[in-house]
Amino acid sequence: MFNILRQSLVSAAVQKALVAGIVLSGFGFSAAQAQDLRLLMVEQAGCYYCRVFNRDIAPVYEKSTEGQAAPLVHVQLRGELPEGVTLDTQPFVTPTFILIGPDGAEIERLTGFPGEDFFWPYVSDMIATAQEGLAP
């Protein structure tokens, strides 16, 4: 049930991203620019799991295939979002990892950091699903 709901949410977000890609390409952006993904990490001071992630995973993530496909962008829980980013709901747990599509819209999120054994396959699947939907 969870996977079906997740797939339908991702599918809807990817469709929005595709429309944005078509619109952006009409304004002179290349297809590569229109397919950029980002992974927001919402964090806050004093968050133990944020520190663990930043110490153990973030340096590796930046060099990974996932990090190349969706670079990590750090934002504060109560801070400003990067320009053009819109979220479905305001995060309330840190860390929260939010995959952002080329149009700046949220595609999918992972709330919390349950450890690297869960993080890597989940984020990899999020990115792969989004890329499949963005592929021509």
Q: How far is CA 46 from CA 26, 75, 97, in A?
A: 45, 14, 17
Name the residue with higher pLDDT: 124 or 10.
124
Give the chain's radius of gyration (CA, Å).
15
Domains, the chain, ordered by start: 2-134 (3.40.30.10)
Q: How far is CA 17 from CA 20, 21, 42, 88, 132, in A?
A: 5, 6, 22, 14, 12
Q: What is the pLDDT of residues 41-97, one digit of tens each?
A: 999 999 999 999 999 999 999 999 999 999 999 999 999 999 999 999 999 999 999
Specify the pLDDT at position 133: 87
Average the pLDDT over 22-34 and give the result: 34
* E strand or H helix at 19: helix 2-26
Q: How far is CA 47 from CA 56, 72, 73, 96, 121, in A?
A: 14, 18, 17, 11, 23
- CB-facing half-sphere around the CA of 19: CA atoms within 13 A: 6
The pTM of this model reads 0.75
Specify the pLDDT at position 136: 80
Q: What is the mean pLDDT of the chain?
A: 81
Specify the pLDDT at position 35: 54
Amino acid, single-letter form, for residue 51: R
